[in-house]
């Protein structure tokens, strides 16, 4: 976990989140993951916050991972922020169309959320509602681009102006460096960079030779 860095020593920040400050300062960032429960007992979230707080720079909040209904990632992220743990909310393309995504992220922003990880989402057939519709109105690269334009151009995906400015979010994407075909993975990352991603997260890396 990196130490706090004075904002005036950093380049212009896009969101001002702790995670962004750590990375902008060139430190090694430490993140964790907090999976919301399949119920509304916040004592489970409290326990996980206790394990992560003071250890990580930010913690990912999963969005109905494995296609199973869980406490909202945005609501859990807000709860985490209120209890001193910076969240990286995950948003999947599986469950929302572009209207809902833009609306939810503006709502998250006014409650203090500053980091978002854009994902396709685990297929619903793996979960407890296999008959649910897989929305996929836009894909994760289009989601990245949409958020980048909301933030930097102050406009919705349709081109309408966001009066007062868009949500200043630190935008993340996922990488799968060991998924076949491996030679295709750098191209996927390059496309996400071109779409406007600010950071990339992968699963834990154990084979550095292949990763390089």
Q: Going from the N-terminus, what domains does the chain have, and what CATH number goes with each?
A: 7-211 (3.20.20.220)
pLDDT band at 2 (very low <50, low <70, confident <90, very high): low
d(CA 30, CA 113): 18
Q: What is the pLDDT, as a whole number, of residue 74?
A: 98
Q: What is the pLDDT, as a whole number, of residue 3?
A: 53
The yes-or-no verdict on residue 157 having pLDDT over 70 is yes
Q: What is the pLDDT, as a whole number, of residue 188?
A: 81
pLDDT band at 47 (very low <50, low <70, confident <90, very high): very high
Q: Are 124 and 88 in contact (CB under 8 A)?
A: no
The yes-or-no verdict on residue 133 having pLDDT over 90 is yes
DSSP string, 68-102: ---S-HHHHHHHHHHTT--EEEEEESSS--HHHHH
| pLDDT per residue as tens digits for the range 93-103 | 999 999 999 99
pLDDT band at 189 (very low <50, low <70, confident <90, very high): confident
DSSP string, the chain: -PPP--GGGSPPPSS--HHHHHHHTT----EEEEPPPSSS-HHHHHHHHHHHTTT-SEEEE-SSGGG---S-HHHHHHHHHHTT--EEEEEESSS--HHHHHHHHHHHHHTT--EEEEE----GGGSS-TTS----SS-HHHHHHHHHHHHHS-B-TTS-B-TT-----EEEEE--TTSSSGGGHHHHHHHHHHHT-SEEE-SPP--HHHH-
Between 147 and 186, residue with greater pLDDT:
147
Q: Which of 55-64, 82-91, 124-133, 161-170 has the lowest mean pLDDT?
A: 124-133
* Residue 185 burial (C-beta neighbours within 10 Å; 0-12, 13-18, 19+): middle
**In the predicted model, what is the mean pLDDT of the chain?**
92
């Amino acid at each position: 976990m990196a130490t706090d860095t004075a904002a005036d020593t950093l380049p212009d920040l896009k969101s001002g989140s702790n995670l962004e400050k750590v990375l902008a300062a060139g430190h090694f960032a430490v993140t964790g993951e907090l999976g919301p429960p399949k119920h509304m007992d916040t004592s489970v979230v409290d326990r996980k916050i206790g394990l992560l707080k003071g250890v990580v720079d930010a913690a990912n909040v999963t969005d109905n991972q494995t296609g199973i209904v869980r406490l909202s990632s945005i609501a859990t992220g807000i709860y985490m922020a209120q209890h001193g743990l910076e969240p990286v909310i995950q948003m999947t393309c599986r469950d929302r169309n572009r209207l809902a995504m833009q609306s939810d992220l503006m709502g998250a922003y006014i409650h203090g959320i500053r980091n978002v990880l854009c994902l396709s989402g685990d297929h619903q057939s793996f979960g407890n509602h296999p008959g649910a519709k897989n929305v996929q109105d836009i894909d994760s690269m289009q989601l990245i681009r949409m958020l980048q334009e909301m933030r930097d151009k102050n406009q919705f995906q349709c081109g309408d102006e966001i009066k007062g400015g868009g949500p200043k979010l630190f935008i993340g994407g996922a990488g799968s460096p060991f998924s076949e075909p491996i030679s295709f993975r750098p191209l996927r990352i390059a496309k996400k960079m071109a779409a406007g991603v600010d950071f990339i997260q992968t699963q834990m890396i154990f084979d550095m030779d292949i990763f390089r």
